[in-house]
Amino acid sequence: YRKLKADPQKVEMALVEAGVRCLPADQEVMVLDFDATDMPLHGEQEEGFFHGYYDSYCYLPLYCFCGAVPLWAQLRPAGIDASEGTIEALKKIVPIIRRRFPKVKIIVRSDSGFTREEIMAWCEGQKDIYYLFGIARNPRIEGLLTEAMVRARMRCCLVGISCREFVDSDYRTIQSWSRSRRLLGKAEALANGKSNPRAVITNIPAAGLRGSDGMLLIEGSAASLYENDYCGRGRAENMIKQMTLDLKADRVSSHWMAANQMRLWFAAFAYLLLERLRSVALCGGELATATLGSVRLRLLKVAAAIKLSARRLHVAFCSAFPLQDVFRK
């Protein structure tokens, strides 16, 4: 065997550049979904630490998706904050996006693990970069939602179904934040009598975001930002699940972390190839919204008989294959 020595920085940037090339050319708003998840370890892997939340020894990779397109897959040890490395990733991703989309507005979206002063301050210091982060509940936030929760419970009692009320307020932590920021709270009374208060932090103005032609791109109301924009964050978790379950991105069987990082990049590039197959070739068909595992199982794993003669290689597919038309396309 001949050893191939990869350049990690070039591989990292190749994934970003390939992903940005796959983004639709007419986009005026791009949402970058950042998320961290666990990657359990079952050996003596380098930089393996115990994580209390996941209750196991694991890695804590950082992912970034724009829609269904992967842009970032960084393997990290578990003994760090979930948001560590986000600013460094943005500093590499944003210039490549700006090269192709000079006027695009970028929204960085994630859960409460990324609501950090450094990340929000960096976004606020950039042009046309906004954030939409969840924030963990605490007594002060619950106090801001008290009146809205009363109204939601009254409506719930009247109509008998879950009801929501929204609050738009300024919020600032006692010590960690350098300034007051916009808090959007959701007070939800469930039909079973329980409450479900939630809140997000954003720098998107109440007037919303408009394009160069003045057209409204993103509504700025609390209800719209929470329900139409922030709740879409769960899609990135489904992408990570597909990369992990269907493409074995969590296979970190090497001792060295650099080798495991390369395995993660392989899975990310494989995801990008299959995502392009699904979005371009399978668009409009019965596999247009299928998971990558379903695409592999139903379209790529096709039984065939192979006959080799002196002059040709003949591949005979099964005439009963149910997706013949899709396969030909």
Q: How many CA atoms lie within 13 A of 266 on its CB side?
A: 14
* Cα–Cα distance for residue pair 303/308, rounded to 1 Å: 16
pTM > 0.75: yes
- Surface-to-core class of residue 313, CB atoms within 10 Å of its CB (0-12 exposed, 13-18 middle, 19+ buried): exposed
Average pLDDT over residues 256-265: 93
Residues 239 and 35 sit within 8 Å (Cβ to Cβ): no
pLDDT digits (tens, 9 = 90+) for 37-84: 999 998 889 998 999 889 999 999 999 999 999 999 999 999 999 999
Rg of the chain on CA atoms, in Å: 23
- What percent of the chain stands above pLDDT 70? 100
**Length of the chain in residues, anyone?**
329
Alpha-carbon distance 149 to 111, whole Å? 22
Dist CA 317 CA 324 (whole Å): 9
Confidence check: pLDDT of 307 > 80: yes
Give the torsion sign (CA, 36, 42, 48, 54). positive
CA dihedral 114, 120, 122, 123 (to 10 degrees): 100
Q: How many other C-beta atoms lie within 10 A of the C-beta of residue 8?
A: 11
pLDDT tens for residues 22-33? Answer: 999 888 999 999
Contact 81, 176 (CB under 8 A): no
- Beta-ladder partners of 32: 66, 108
Percent helix, strand, coil in the chain (nearest 5)?
35, 25, 40
Other residues' Cβ atoms within 10 Å of the Cβ of residue 326: 16
Q: Can you tell me the distance from the alpha carbon of 288 to that of 280, in angstroms, rounded to the nearest whole number?
A: 9
Contact 151, 176 (CB under 8 A): no
186: nearest Cα among 227, 138, 239 = 227
Mean pLDDT of the chain, nearest integer: 92
Token pair 């605490």 is found at: 138
pLDDT recorded at residue 284: 85
- Strands (E) located in the chain: 29-36, 39-40, 49-51, 56-59, 62-66, 69-74, 105-110, 129-134, 163-171, 181-189, 198-202, 209-210, 216-218, 304-308, 313-317
Closest CA to 233 of 85, 133, 86, 135: 133
Please state, in angstroms and rounded to a whole number, the distance separating the CA atoms of residues 105 and 30.
Answer: 6
Contact between residue 200 and residue 254 where contact means Cβ atoms under 8 Å apart = no
User: What is the per-residue pLDDT across 135-154, written as a single tens digit (0 to 9) for each?
Assistant: 999 999 999 999 999 999 99
Tens digit of pLDDT for each residue in 173-230?
A: 988 899 999 999 999 999 888 899 999 999 999 999 988 888 899 999 999 999 999 9
Question: Angle at which helices 117-124 and 86-100 pack, to 10 degrees?
Answer: 20
- pLDDT of 1 higher than 80: no
Transcribe 82-125 into DSSP letters: TTTTHHHHHHHHHHHHHHH-TT-EEEEEE-GGG--HHHHHHHHT
